[in-house]
C-alpha cells in the first residue's frame, strides 16, 4: 500500500490532473480483467473491448491532434484542432495494462482480485514514466511476496548510480552538442557538423533511455522487484534484426508477442512476412510519436529488416564481423537523424549537408572539449559489455571495493552536475 | 568481511546523501542569491494562482535551487570544469575560461594567432592608403586595445596557446608611414586594479581611465602639446562582474547575471549629430563638447571608446567627432575601403586637429 501511495503521489506530482486518467485506466483494466475471467467463452470479445478502450485512451491523448491535422490537410474541411498535453508515460502504462488483459485471456495467470495489487502493477513508480514495459506474470508473485535483502539493495543502489550518472554525465553532455547542431539553420550545416550531431545523438539516446531503465531496475531491486533487462548493448549488433533484439527489449518483445506473431509472423510465406514487418514497424514508429518522422523512422527499420530477410542477412552472416557491425551502426545512426529531426524538411536538410562536403571551423570547439572527449571514451566503452564484465560484475574483492568507491565518487560528481545544470528531462518521457 | 563492509558503506553513503541533502535544504534558511553562479534563486512558490501543475513545476525549481550543500556541489562542478576546460559550453560566441571568466570566441582565436597573415596585411594596407589620403598636416594616431584574453590570460581555458601574431601585427602597424601607434598592452597588463570585466568583453571604468590617461600622454609626447588629463578619478565607475555582454550574447545571462543587472550598451552621453553626418543605420555618429579645451579630434572607434573618450575625453578635447566604423564588426577589404571613404568625406568637412583610430585586437582579423 505504501508503494502504491508513493507511486500515485509520484505520478500526481508530475500530472496533478491526469492522475485521474491513470486511476481510470486501473479501474477499467481491473473490471475488464475480471470480466474476461468470469465469461471466458466471450474472452476474445471482451479482450477486444479492453484493448479498444486502452487504445482509445492512447489515441485520444496522443494521436487525435496528429490525425486531425492530417485530415484537415487532405480534405477541404476546416475545423478547430483541440490542444492538450500528453499525460506522462501514457504509452507505457497503457501497453503494460494491455499485456495484463491479453495474457489473462491467454490464461497465463488468474485475474488479480485485489484492485490495489493491480494498481501497483500499472502505476509502480520506478518504471511508470519510461519503462521497461513489465509483464504482469513476470512480477505477479513479487507484488504480494517479495524480499528485500542487503545483497539486492546494494545491487539496486549500484544500478541506480550507474543509471543516474549515465544520464547526467554522458547523455546530457552529448545532448548539448546534438541540441546545438540540430537547432542550427540549414545553411550553416556542414558534413562534419551533421556527423557530430548524429554521433552525439546516437550516444545521447542510448545513454538517456538505458539510464532510465537502469534507474528503474535499480529502484525496483531496492524494493525487492526483479525487472527484466531492457537493453543488451544494442550498438554491438551485427544486423538490424539483432539490434532490435537488444534495443528496448520490453517493447520489441511486446511487438513480437502481441502483434507480429498474432499477425502470422514469418509462417505465412515471404510476402506475408514482409507485410507483417511493415505493419509492426509502422506501428513501432507511431508508438514513439505522433509525427511523420517517427513513422518514417519505423518504416526505415522495416525496410532494412525485409532486406535482411531477402538476402542481406545471409550476406552479413558471411561478412567479416567488422563490416556487419559497420553496416548496422550506420543504418542505426542515420535512423537517429530521422528520429531526432523536428520534421521531414530538417531530415532532408541534414542529409543534404551530410553529403555536401562543406567545411566549418565550428567543429573545433567540439574536438577541443576535453570533457566531451572523456564522455566519448566512456560512451564507447559503455556501449560494450566491458564495464559490466570486467568491473561491475567482477568477482575480485579488491576490484569490488574499487568499483564501489568509484561509483560513490561518480555519484557526487553527477549530483554536482545536476545542481549546476538546468532541467533536462529524459527523452522517453514524451512517449 | 570486506564485501560486507563494502555493501554497508555504499548503502550508508547513498541513503545518507538521500537523507541529508533534502533535510539540510529544509532546515537551512533560503538564500536569495547564489554567489557561485551570481544569480537569483527560485523563491518558495505559492498556490495563490490555483494552478496546481505550475505550482509543482515551480516547487521543483525551488527544490533544485535550495537543496542542501548546493553551493558545494556547484563549486565541485566549476572546479571540474576548470580542470577539463571545456572550450565552449555556453554558446557559439563565448568561451568559458577558468573561474567562470567569459571570452569572445574571436578574441580567443586572435590570442591563438589564427588570423590569416594575408588578411592582416590587407588591413594594414588599407590603413596605409587611408593615411595617405588624409592631409599630412593632420596627425593620425592608431591606438591598439588588447583583447581581454591577453590581459587576463591566466583565466583562459588550459587548451588555449598564446601566439606572438598580435605583437608582430603591432610592429607592422608601427611601420605605416606617418602614423603614431600606441599599444596599450603594457599599460593595462601591469595595472594591479581590475581593468576588464569577467562576463564582458570590454574594459571597466578603471581600464578605460588607464587607457585615456596613456593616450593623452602619448599625444602630448608626440605632438608637444599640453592636453590636460582629468585628475578627478573618484567617480570613475568600476562596473561589477555581474554585468556582461558576452553572458548576454551567449544566452547564459539568466544563469550568470543578476536578473536586474543585465548590461545594455549605453549610448555616448552626448548629443548626436546624425543630421550633419549621416551614417548607416545603427552606426551612431556622436559628438562631445566642452568649453575647456580647444582641440577637435576625429575618433574612429567601436564600443570600447564610449567609456574612454566619451566621458573622460570630454574633459580634454573641445570637440570629438565619434565615428563608428563598419569594418570593426565584419572586416572585409571592400567594406573597409567604403568606410574609410565615408570617413574621409567627413574629415574634409570637420577639419579635425587630430585623428585617432582605435582598434581592438580582435578587429584585426
DSSP codes joined into one string, A318-332: HS-HHHHHHHHHHHH
Residue B230's pLDDT is what?
Answer: 60
Q: Which residue has the cell 550574447?
A: B249
Active site positions of A, annotated: 288
Q: Which of B3, B9, B159 sits opposite A368 (nearest CB)?
A: B159
Residue A296's pLDDT is what?
Answer: 93
Q: Which tens digits make up the pLDDT trace of B28-77?
A: 887 766 655 545 567 777 776 556 667 777 777 787 777 878 878 877 88
- Residues of chain B with C-beta less than 8 angstroms from the C-beta of A370: 84-86, 159
Residue A79's pLDDT is what?
Answer: 73
Please, which pLDDT band fits residue B255 given cuts at 50, 70 and 90?
very low
Angle between helices A150-165 and B2-27 (to 10 degrees): 60
Torsion of CA B11, B12, B16, B19, to 10 degrees: 60
DSSP B181: E
Residue B78's pLDDT is what?
Answer: 73
Q: What percent of chain B has pLDDT over 70?
A: 61
Residue B331: is its pLDDT beyond 60?
Answer: no
Quote the minimal CA–CA distance from B292 to chain A in Å.
51
Residue B323's pLDDT is what?
Answer: 52
Assess A154–B contact: CB distance below 8 Å, yes or no: yes
B11: closest chain A residue by CA:
A154
Residue B313's pLDDT is what?
Answer: 44
Instruction: Name the grid cell of A110.
Output: 488468474
A92/A376 Cα distance (integer angstroms): 30
- Residues of chain B with C-beta less than 8 angstroms from the C-beta of A401: 2, 6
Residue B304's pLDDT is what?
Answer: 66
Would you tell me how many other CB atoms lie within 10 Å of the CB of residue B29?
5
Angle between helices A2-14 and A115-123 (to 10 degrees): 50
Q: Which tens digits make up the pLDDT trace of B270-294?
A: 222 333 333 333 333 333 333 334 5
B256: closest chain A residue by CA:
A420
Residue B309's pLDDT is what?
Answer: 44
- Residues of chain B with C-beta less than 8 angstroms from the C-beta of A412: 73, 76
Quote the minimal CA–CA distance from B317 to chain A in Å.
44
Instruction: Name the grid cell of A402.
Output: 574499487
Average pLDDT of the residues in B223-249: 58
Q: Round the average pLDDT of chain B to a whole number and report it.
A: 69
Assess A374–B contact: CB distance below 8 Å, yes or no: yes
Q: Which tens digits make up the pLDDT trace of B73-117?
A: 877 887 776 676 544 443 446 777 777 788 887 788 888 887 788
Burial class (CB in 10 A: 0-12, 13-18, 19+), A38: exposed
Please, which pLDDT band fits residue B312 given cuts at 50, 70 and 90?
very low
B314/B324 Cα distance (integer angstroms): 17
Q: Which of A154, A416, A423 sits opposite B10 (nearest CB)?
A: A154
B9: closest chain A residue by CA:
A404
Residue B195: is its pLDDT beyond 70?
Answer: yes
Of A228 and B251, the one with more pLDDT: A228
Please, which pLDDT band fits residue B254 given cuts at 50, 70 and 90?
very low
**CA torsion sign, A230 to A232 to A236 to A242?**
negative
Residue A366: partners with Cβ closer than 8 Å, 6 or more residues away: A177, A196, A372
* CB within 8 Å: B84 and A176: no
DSSP B197: -
Q: Which of A17, A365, A401 sits opposite B88 (nearest CB)?
A: A365
A61/A84 Cα distance (integer angstroms): 8
Average pLDDT of the residues in B117-138: 85
Average pLDDT of the residues in B301-324: 50
With a cut of 70, which residues of chain A have pLDDT below it?
Answer: 83-84, 128, 130-131, 188, 357-365, 367-368, 421-431
Residue B251: is its pLDDT beyond 60?
Answer: no
Average pLDDT of the residues in B207-233: 77
Residue A52's pLDDT is what?
Answer: 93
Q: What are phi and psi of A14, to 5 degrees?
A: -80, -35
Quote the minimal CA–CA distance from B29 to chain A in Å.
18
- Residues of chain B with C-beta less than 8 angstroms from the C-beta of A407: 10
Q: Which of A161, A369, A416 sits opposite B87 (nearest CB)?
A: A369
Q: B282 in the Ramachandran plot: left (φ > 0), alpha (ψ -120 to 50) or beta? A: left
Residue B334's pLDDT is what?
Answer: 57
- Residues of chain B with C-beta less than 8 angstroms from the C-beta of A369: 86-89
Quote the minimal CA–CA distance from B18 to chain A in Å.
11
B196/B151 Cα distance (integer angstroms): 8
Amino acid at each position: 500500500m505504501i508503494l502504491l501511495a508513493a507511486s500515485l503521489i509520484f505520478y500526481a506530482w508530475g500530472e496533478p490532473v491526469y492522475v485521474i486518467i491513470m486511476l481510470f485506466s486501473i479501474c477499467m483494466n481491473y473490471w475488464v480483467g475480471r470480466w474476461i475471467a468470469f465469461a471466458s467463452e466471450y474472452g476474445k470479445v471482451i479482450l477486444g473491448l479492453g484493448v479498444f478502450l486502452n487504445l482509445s485512451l492512447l489515441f485520444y491523448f496522443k494521436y487525435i491532434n496528429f490525425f486531425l491535422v492530417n485530415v484537415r490537410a487532405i480534405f477541404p474541411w476546416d475545423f478547430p484542432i483541440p490542444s492538450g498535453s500528453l499525460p506522462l508515460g501514457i504509452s507505457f502504462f497503457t501497453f503494460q495494462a494491455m499485456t495484463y488483459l491479453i495474457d489473462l485471456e491467454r490464461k497465463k495467470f488468474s485475474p488479480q482480485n485485489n484492485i490495489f495489487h493491480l494498481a501497483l502493477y500499472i502505476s509502480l513508480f520506478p518504471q511508470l514514466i519510461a519503462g521497461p514495459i513489465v509483464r504482469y506474470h513476470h512480477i505477479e508473485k513479487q507484488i504480494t511476496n517479495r524480499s528485500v535483502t542487503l545483497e539486492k539493495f546494494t545491487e539496486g543502489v549500484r544500478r541506480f548510480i550507474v543509471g543516474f550518472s549515465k544520464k547526467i554525465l554522458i547523455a546530457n553532455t552529448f545532448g548539448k552538442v546534438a541540441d546545438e547542431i540540430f537547432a542550427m539553420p540549414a545553411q550553416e550545416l556542414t558534413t562534419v557538423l551533421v556527423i557530430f550531431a548524429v554521433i552525439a545523438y546516437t550516444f545521447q539516446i542510448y545513454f538517456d533511455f538505458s539510464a532510465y531503465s537502469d534507474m528503474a531496475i535499480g529502484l525496483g531491486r531496492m524494493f525487492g522487484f526483479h525487472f527484466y533487462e531492457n537493453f543488451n548493448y544494442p550498438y554491438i549488433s551485427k544486423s538490424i534484426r539483432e539490434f532490435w533484439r537488444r534495443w528496448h527489449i520490453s517493447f520489441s518483445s511486446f511487438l513480437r508477442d502481441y502483434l507480429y506473431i498474432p499477425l502470422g509472423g514469418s509462417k505465412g510465406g515471404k510476402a506475408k512476412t514482409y507485410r507483417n514487418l511493415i505493419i509492426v514497424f509502422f506501428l513501432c514508429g507511431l508508438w514513439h510519436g505522433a509525427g511523420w518522422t517517427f513513422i518514417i523512422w519505423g518504416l526505415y527499420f522495416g525496410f532494412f529488416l525485409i532486406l535482411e530477410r531477402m538476402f542481406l542477412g545471409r550476406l552479413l552472416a558471411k561478412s567479416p564481423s567488422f563490416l556487419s557491425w559497420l553496416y548496422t551502426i550506420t543504418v542505426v545512426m542515420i535512423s537517429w537523424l530521422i528520429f531526432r529531426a523536428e520534421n521531414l524538411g530538417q531530415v532532408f536538410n541534414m542529409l543534404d549537408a551530410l553529403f555536401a562536403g562543406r567545411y566549418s571551423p565550428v567543429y573545433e570547439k567540439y574536438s577541443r572539449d576535453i570533457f566531451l572527449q572523456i564522455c566519448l571514451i566512456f560512451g564507447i566503452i559503455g556501449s560494450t559489455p566491458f564495464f559490466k564484465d570486467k568491473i561491475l560484475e567482477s568477482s575480485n574483492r579488491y576490484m569490488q571495493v574499487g568499483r564501489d568507491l568509484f561509483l560513490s565518487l561518480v555519484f557526487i560528481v553527477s549530483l554536482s552536475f545536476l545542481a549546476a545544470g538546468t532541467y533536462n528531462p529524459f527523452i522517453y518521457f514524451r512517449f | 568481511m570486506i564485501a560486507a563492509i563494502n555493501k554497508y558503506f555504499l548503502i550508508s553513503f547513498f541513503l545518507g546523501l538521500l537523507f541529508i541533502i533534502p533535510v539540510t535544504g529544509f532546515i537551512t534558511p533560503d538564500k536569495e542569491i547564489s554567489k557561485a553562479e551570481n544569480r537569483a534563486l527560485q523563491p518558495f512558490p505559492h498556490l495563490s494562482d490555483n494552478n496546481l501543475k505550475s505550482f509543482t513545476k515551480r516547487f521543483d525549481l525551488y527544490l533544485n535551487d535550495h537543496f542542501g550543500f548546493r553551493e558545494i556541489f556547484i563549486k565541485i562542478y566549476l572546479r571540474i570544469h576548470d580542470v577539463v576546460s571545456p572550450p565552449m559550453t555556453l554558446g557559439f560566441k563565448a568561451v568559458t575560461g577558468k573561474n567562470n571568466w567569459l571570452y569572445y570566441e574571436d578574441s580567443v582565436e586572435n590570442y591563438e594567432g589564427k588570423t590569416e597573415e594575408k588578411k592582416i596585411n590587407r588591413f594594414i594596407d588599407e590603413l596605409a592608403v587611408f593615411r595617405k589620403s588624409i592631409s599630412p598636416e593632420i596627425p593620425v594616431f592608431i591606438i591598439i586595445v588588447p583583447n581581454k584574453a591577453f590581459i587576463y590570460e591566466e583565466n583562459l581555458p588550459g587548451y588555449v596557446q598564446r601566439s606572438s601574431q598580435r605583437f608582430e601585427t603591432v610592429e607592422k602597424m608601427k611601420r605605416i608611414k606617418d602614423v603614431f601607434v600606441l599599444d596599450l598592452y603594457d599599460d593595462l597588463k601591469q595595472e594591479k586594479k581590475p581593468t576588464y570585466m569577467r562576463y564582458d568583453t570590454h574594459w571597466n571604468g578603471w581600464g578605460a581611465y588607464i587607457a585615456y590617461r596613456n593616450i593623452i600622454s602619448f599625444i602630448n609626447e608626440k605632438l608637444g602639446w599640453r592636453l590636460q588629463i582629468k585628475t578627478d578619478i573618484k567617480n570613475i565607475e568600476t562596473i561589477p562582474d555581474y554585468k556582461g555582454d558576452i553572458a548576454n550574447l551567449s544566452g547564459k545571462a539568466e544563469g550568470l547575471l543578476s536578473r536586474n543587472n543585465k548590461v545594455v550598451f549605453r549610448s555616448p552621453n552626448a548629443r548626436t549629430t546624425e543630421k550633419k553626418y549621416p551614417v548607416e543605420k545603427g552606426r551612431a555618429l556622436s559628438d562631445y563638447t566642452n568649453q575647456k579645451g580647444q582641440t577637435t579630434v576625429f575618433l574612429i572607434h567601436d564600443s570600447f571608446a564610449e567609456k574612454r573618450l566619451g566621458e573622460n575625453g570630454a574633459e580634454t578635447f573641445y570637440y570629438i567627432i565619434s565615428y563608428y566604423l563598419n569594418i570593426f564588426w565584419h572586416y572585409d577589404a571592400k567594406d573597409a575601403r567604403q568606410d574609410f571613404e565615408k570617413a574621409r568625406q567627413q574629415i574634409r568637412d570637420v577639419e579635425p586637429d587630430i585623428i585617432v583610430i582605435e582598434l581592438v585586437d580582435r578587429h584585426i582579423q
